[in-house]
């Protein structure tokens, strides 16, 4: 299919359908994993913003997404009938500051502008029309696109949390609350195993931020290890790399958590 279209309602759960369509589109056109990853993140951030901020009523609204290939680009057009919003007119600086100083907001738009090669916007017939474009790279197998799962274990007093799949807006709240419950129950030494983490959106980052703040407030220690190239790139783009202890191996991560916790 040279073009693909889907119409969803203004619910976060509908993002899964969009990502499934994108995955199929990328596989059929042998688009690279990087293209699929970046388009997936950008679409999630935009649709999530529409769901959260575009409507001033509680009614159901339709959002249309169309995918196509043109002029060496993969393009996604998002059309919604929410309030007028041109992302090109809003400055989205790279987040900065310490763990305590970071507050949610602006990260998703920063990711979209950093990852997309072209963005265009116009408003017509009381609808927003936003087009995201990513230059096409060489063929490469795309990833699974499954929502994140979380597994827990304990090693010599350290709670090891394995997060795999897509740490996106559909699961970020659940994972954050489960981790905060663990901390509240006394887990002050925590190691996050991210070897199989395919993707993390702004919602996932804000969840990690909340977890990190709670661990710090309880004079505990949190470390991460196994971060892949695509996820590391998002940590760098979002200014999160320096906020967490990031270790190359599980053993070094365990040592870092044990040595620094009080």
Assigned token pair, 57: 């009523």
Burial of 91 (0-12, 13-18, 19+ CB in 10 A): exposed
pLDDT at residue 225 in the model:
94
Q: Which fold has domain 3-135?
A: Heat Shock Protein 90 (3.30.565)
pTM of the model: 0.80
H helix or E strand, kind and range, residue 142: none
Assigned token pair, 252: 């070094």
Assigned token pair, 51: 């769901």
Write the DSSP assignment of 64-109 as a string of letters: EEEEEEETTEEEEEEEE-SS---GGGS--PPP-S-TTT--SSSHHH
Q: Name the H helices within 76-123.
A: 107-115
- Kindly list the domain boundaries of the chain, sorted by start residue: 3-135, 149-260
Residue 56 DSSP symbol: S
Instruction: Dump pLDDT digits (tens) for 74-133.
Output: 999 999 999 999 988 877 666 666 666 666 667 888 899 999 999 999 999 999 999 999
pLDDT at residue 141 in the model:
41
Which residues of the chain, if any, have pLDDT below 50?
139-143
Superfamily (CATH H level) for 149-260: STAS domain (3.30.750.24)
Q: Which residue, among 247, 223, 246, 43, has the nearest Cα to 145 in the 3D structure?
A: 43
pLDDT at residue 139 in the model:
44
Question: How far apart are the C-alpha atoms of 121 and 89, rounded to whole Å?
Answer: 10
């Amino acid at each position: 299919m040279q073009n693909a279209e889907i119409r969803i309602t203004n619910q976060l759960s509908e993002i899964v359908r969009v990502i499934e369509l994108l995955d199929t589109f990328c596989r059929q056109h042998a688009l690279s994993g990087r293209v699929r990853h970046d388009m997936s993140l950008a679409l999630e951030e935009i649709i999530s913003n529409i769901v959260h901020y575009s409507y001033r009523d509680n009614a159901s609204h339709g959002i249309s997404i169309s995918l196509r290939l043109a002029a060496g680009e993969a393009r996604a057009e998002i059309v919604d009938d929410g309030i007028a919003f041109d992302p090109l007119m809003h400055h989205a600086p790279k987040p900065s500051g310490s763990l305590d100083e970071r507050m949610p907001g602006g990260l998703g738009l920063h990711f979209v502008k950093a990852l997309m090669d072209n963005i265009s916007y116009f408003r017509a017939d009381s609808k927003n029309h936003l087009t995201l474009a990513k230059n096409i790279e060489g063929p490469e197998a795309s990833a699974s696109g499954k929502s994140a799962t979380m597994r827990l274990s304990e090693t010599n007093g350290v709670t090891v949390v394995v997060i795999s799949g897509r740490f996106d807006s559909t699961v970020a709240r659940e994972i954050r609350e489960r981790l905060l419950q663990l901390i509240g129950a006394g887990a002050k030494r925590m190691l996050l195993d991210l070897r199989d983490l395919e993707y993390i959106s702004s919602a996932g980052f804000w969840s990690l931020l909340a977890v990190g703040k709670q661990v710090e407030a309880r004079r505990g220690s949190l470390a991460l290890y196994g971060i892949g190239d695509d996820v590391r790139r998002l940590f760098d783009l979002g200014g999160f790399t320096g906020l967490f202890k990031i270790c190359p191996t599980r053993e070094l991560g365990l040592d870092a958590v044990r040595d620094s916790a009080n």
